[in-house]
């Protein structure tokens, strides 16, 4: 069975080693690289492509945010999960807005680690309600928040899918509930992103919650 390849980027060796030990207990994952700063991570990506990156935010030489932005600018399609501590909400929100697929506290449990990584690899995002609320609050402070008239172009199917996404349902779960193919759900999501002028599942759910079109 082919394993999911993981790159761990963190300037603390104890964090990298701890995550590596946990991941190696699961036959689905293989840690193919480690980096202690963003510059080293970008150099690694020139030669190998992992299936997912676990990315610290506060690092020397090149920070996690700058690294995420560079990866996005270079159009490197690798899902990124932010590694964070309890006092980094603002940085974490910026990372999510740049396209990160979710976040993990550095002392997270093994099952949550596995679940979050698998969701990111599937192209999905797992966010706790409290972090979603903070993401929405951040968007409300910005002048370019989408107007209700832009959001109301959503169909009932769009709203159903957004509601399910907000609750953490996977694409295949949504497809089962709606009696449609999983690829059809993905097509609906792409259409939703276009209607809301967003790029990610997280942003789409945030906009829908912001305008009270769905609720948690």
Length of the chain: 216
Count: domains in the chain: 2
Query: pLDDT-derived band of residue 196, with 50, 70 and 90 as boundaries?
Result: confident
* Average pLDDT value over all residues in the chain: 83
User: 143 with 104, same domain?
Assistant: no
Q: Is residue 150 pLDDT above 80, yes or no? A: no
Give pLDDT, residue 52.
95
Closest among 58, 50, 44 to 11, alpha carbons compared: 58
pLDDT of residue 207: 82
DSSP 191: H
Q: Is the pLDDT of residue 11 over 60?
A: yes
Q: What pLDDT, on a 0 to 100 scale, did the predictor assign at position 124?
A: 76
70 and 100 Cβ atoms separated by less than 8 Å: no
| Domain identity same for 26 and 81 | yes
CATH value at residue 185: 1.10.10.10
Residues 93-125 pLDDT 10s: 788 778 888 888 888 888 888 988 988 888 877
Please check whether residues 94 and 146 belong to one and the same domain.
Answer: no
Q: Where is the domain boundary, 126, 152, 184?
A: 126
Q: How confident is the model at residue 33 (pLDDT cuts 50, 70, 90)?
A: very high
Burial of 23 (C-beta count, 10 Å sphere; 0-12/13-18/19+): buried
> Largest Cα–Cα distance of the chain, in whole Å?
50
Domain range for 179 is 136-210
Residue 20 lies in a domain: yes
Q: What percent of the chain has pLDDT over 70?
A: 85
pLDDT at 194: 87
> Are residues 170 and 77 both part of a single domain?
no
Q: Does the residue 40 lie in any domain?
A: yes
Give tens-digit pLDDT for 159-195. Answer: 889 889 888 899 999 999 888 999 999 999 999 888 8
Strongest mean pLDDT among 30-39, 116-125, 195-204: 30-39
Q: Among 102, 126, 150, where does a domain finish? A: 126
Q: pLDDT digit string (tens) for 18-27?
A: 999 999 999 9
**Mean pLDDT of the region 51-73:** 90
Cα separation of 167 and 214, whole Å?
Answer: 10
Angle at 69 between CA 63 and CA 73, to 5 degrees: 140
Domain identity same for 87 and 152: no
Question: What CATH number is associated with residue 18?
Answer: 3.40.50.2300
The residue from 126, 155, 170 where one domain ends is 126
At residue 55, the 3 state secondary structure works out as strand
């Amino acid at each position: 069975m082919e394993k999911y390849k993981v790159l761990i980027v963190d300037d603390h060796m104890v964090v990298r080693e701890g995550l590596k030990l946990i991941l190696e207990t699961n036959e689905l994952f293989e840690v193919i690289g480690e980096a202690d700063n963003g510059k080293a991570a970008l150099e690694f990506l020139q030669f190998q492509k992992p299936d997912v990156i676990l990315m610290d935010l506060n690092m020397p030489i090149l920070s996690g945010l700058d690294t995420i932005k560079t990866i996005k600018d270079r159009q490197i399609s690798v899902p990124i999960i932010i590694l964070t501590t309890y006092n980094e909400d603002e940085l974490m929100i910026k990372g999510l807005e740049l396209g990160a697929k979710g976040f993990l506290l550095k002392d997270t449990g093994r099952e949550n680690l596995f679940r979050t990584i698998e969701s990111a690899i599937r192209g999905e995002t797992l966010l706790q309600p409290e972090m979603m609320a903070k993401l929405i609050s951040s968007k409300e402070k910005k002048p370019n928040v989408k107007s209700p008239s832009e959001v109301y172009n959503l169909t009932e199917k769009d709203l159903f899918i957004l509601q399910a996404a907000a609750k953490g349902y996977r694409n295949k779960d949504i497809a089962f509930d709606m009696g449609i193919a999983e690829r059809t759900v993905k097509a609906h999501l792409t259409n939703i992103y276009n209607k809301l002028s967003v790029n990610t599942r997280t942003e789409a759910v945030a906009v829908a919650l912001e305008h009270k079109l769905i609720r948690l």
